[in-house]
Amino acid sequence: MLEVLPFLPLLLRGTMVTVALALLGLGLATALGAIGAVGRLSGGRLSAVVVRAYTTLVRGVPDLVMVMLVYFGGQRMLNDIGALAGWDHVSLPPFWAGVLSIGLIYGAYLTETFRGAYMAIPSTQSEAARALGLGRFVTLRKVILPQMLRHALPGYANVWMVLVKSTAVVSVIGLGDLVGMANDIGKSQREPFLFFGFVLLVYLSITWVSNRVFATIERRIAT
């Protein structure tokens, strides 16, 4: 176990990358999920079709493929656009390619989470609000959203748990996240189990802390 110590700073740096990637990915996914849910629920036919295409397509592609597509395919697109526009080489950094991929993938899942949460609220609620003379916006903010939150939270927490672990796929594009770091160090030190054991503990602590946080929030909004 002592062999891990000299590499601790490096592994912690990898952990920071993983956590930053997960949090930014979750932020983007939440935004996309909210837009997607609005598109499915209140928009016209076109927005519903676009959102449905997005969720179907993205949920049907493996995470690994998506990361490769965004990083290499996105770079090719940038190169082609750059060649046309006469820019110098513009590079898509692996970290942002990772955030983009994670956000795109989990935005599709969250679209469904948010849509489901909205549908779980009886339509009588908004009818009652209208009967009381509340406007659309006030109804949404004061009546619908607080109830949606309660319905969405378990699904949201679930998506976060899966998202955290799926950040590991970014190591294929050379990003020094926790798994990528541990993989390289483990192979270089010829002690793969030791370093993957460390990875296991870190992920376990992240999910444990997340569990506590979400449990607290759920308790708060239940009352």
Partner 1 sequence: MLKTTLLSVGFALTLGTQALSQSLNICVEGAYPPFSYTTESGSVAGFDIDIANALCDNLGYDCTLVKTGWDGIIPALLERKCDAIIASMAITPERKQVVDFSMKYYNTPARFVGREGMTMDNLNGAVVGVQRGTVHHEYMRGEHPTVDLKLYGSQDEAFLDLAAGRIDAVMGESIASATGFLETEAGEGFAFFGPPISMPKYHGIGAGIAVRQGEEDLRNAISHAIGELRADGTYQKINQKYFDFDIFGG
Which residues are near partner 1 by CB under 8 A? Answer: 6-7, 9-10, 13, 68, 71-72, 75-76, 79, 86-89, 91, 171-174, 176, 180-181, 183-185, 187-188, 190, 192
> Hey, CA dihedral for 180, 185, 191, 194, is it positive or negative?
negative
Q: Closer CB to partner 1, residue 92 or residue 143?
A: 92
Q: Closer CB to partner 1, residue 107 or residue 180?
A: 180
- Tell me the two tokens of residue 157: 């927490």
Nearest to 75 by CA among 91, 63, 59: 91
In the complex, minimum distance from the CB of residue 33 to partner 1, in angstroms, rounded to a whole number: 29
| Torsion of Cα atoms, 217 then 218 then 221 then 223, to 10° | -120
Nearest to 57 by CA among 10, 96, 107: 107
In the complex, minimum distance from the CB of residue 193 to partner 1, in angstroms, rounded to a whole number: 8
The Cα–Cα gap between 208 and 215 comes to: 11
- Tell me the two tokens of residue 223: 């009352």
Q: Closer CB to partner 1, residue 6 or residue 43?
A: 6
Q: Closer CB to partner 1, residue 79 or residue 126?
A: 79
Helix (H, G, I), strand (E, B) or coil at 120: coil
Q: Closer CB to partner 1, residue 100 or residue 110?
A: 100
